[in-house]
Amino acid sequence: QVQVVESGGGLVQPGGSLRLSCAASGSGISINAMGWYRQAPGKERELVATISTAGSTNYADSVKGRFTISRDSAKNTVSLQMNSLKPEDTAVYYCNADVVRSGAILTYRYWGQGTQVTVSS
């Protein structure tokens, strides 16, 4: 019932920029933290950035200063502005949303299907 959908991936040259967007939706839910992870070929999925309900952010050292995460809580959306992209940023980027269902006490993390980001000349 919970849907998490990413968009905005594509092919860019080194030094270029991309903006990824993610929308979480569902009935009877409350969304807490949201974030972005990525997985490159042959690598484990790793944290890129997260943002809390209050707007506190956390970034991987490898993207700090280049990427910016933001959210619109009213719309249950989160964005990742990626600047100064490097070939090593090439990966499938996954959006996640931590969700609490009405009447429940546990939080579950839902994932989108991912969007491909390729940085190559």
Position of tokens 């050292």?
A: 61
Nearest to 18 by CA among 97, 118, 113: 118
Nearest to 16 by CA among 116, 114, 120: 120
Taking residues 9-34, report their average pLDDT: 96
Burial class (CB in 10 A: 0-12, 13-18, 19+), 49: buried
Using the predicted structure, report yes or no on whether residue 1 has a pLDDT greater than 90.
no
Q: What percent of the chain has pLDDT over 70?
A: 100
Nearest to 2 by CA among 77, 74, 99: 99
CA angle, 2 as apex, 42 and 40 as ends, to 5°?
A: 10
Given CA atoms 22, 71, 47, 11 in this order, what sign does their dihedral have?
A: positive
pLDDT in tens, 44-101: 999 999 999 999 999 999 999 999 999 998 888 999 999 999 999 999 999 999 999 9
pLDDT at position 65: 97
CA angle, 30 as apex, 94 and 71 as ends, to 5°?
A: 50
